[in-house]
């Protein structure tokens, strides 16, 4: 049996509305929001007495998804500093291809996003940067050149 696809990436957040607004501004589409609880969910994620709200966002091409979860029970815990540096162990960022990187940066700044480093060009292939958004989420942006 071969891998079929990557379905989604989960990000646990406190302010789900702010994070949804950030990803919608980036260009993702909100597929839906719903509460999630029950014994089946508890068994899947290995936690008892779970009550959470989830939201699913998809990329415009329909192939990539980001799932957001706001835990009401049990409360979410911080595993690392909010603004962890790029060399911290674990998942550091999600990378998106964009067609106008400077426009995207400007729009995301209206949601509190800041550049992690600098906007740089890699040879004649890409312009790249990392942006830190709400909840310390790092998003990589790549604009293909030529």
| pLDDT for residue 116 | 94
Q: Is the N-terminal amide bond of 121 cis, ω within 30° of 0?
A: no
CA 142 – CA 144 distance, rounded (Å): 6
| pLDDT for residue 84 | 82
| pLDDT for residue 85 | 81
Say if residue 146's pLDDT is above 90: no
**Tens digits of residue pLDDT in 74-117:** 999 887 777 788 788 888 899 999 999 999 999 999 999 999 99
| pLDDT for residue 90 | 82
| pLDDT for residue 4 | 83
Whether 54 contacts 10, CB under 8 Å: no
CA 72 – CA 92 distance, rounded (Å): 24
Average pLDDT of the chain, as a whole number: 93
Whether 12 contacts 67, CB under 8 Å: no
Say if residue 64's pLDDT is above 90: yes
Other Cβ atoms closer than 10 A to 9: 12
Query: Which pTM does this prediction carry?
Result: 0.91
């Amino acid at each position: 049996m071969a891998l079929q696809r990557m379905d989604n990436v989960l990000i646990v957040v406190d302010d789900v509305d702010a994070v949804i607004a950030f990803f919608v501004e980036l260009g993702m589409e909100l597929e839906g929001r719903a509460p999630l609880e029950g014994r089946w969910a508890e068994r899947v994620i290995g936690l008892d007495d779970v009550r959470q709200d989830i939201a699913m966002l998809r990329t415009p091409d329909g192939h990539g998804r980001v799932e957001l979860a706001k835990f009401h029970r049990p409360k979410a815990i911080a595993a690392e500093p909010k603004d962890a540096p790029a060399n911290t162990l674990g998942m550091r960022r999600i990378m998106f291809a964009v067609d106008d990187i400077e426009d995207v940066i400007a729009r995301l700044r209206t949601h509190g996003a800041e550049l992690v480093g600098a906007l740089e060009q890699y040879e004649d292939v890409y312009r790249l940067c990392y942006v830190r958004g709400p909840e310390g989420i790092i998003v990589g942006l790549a604009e293909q050149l030529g």
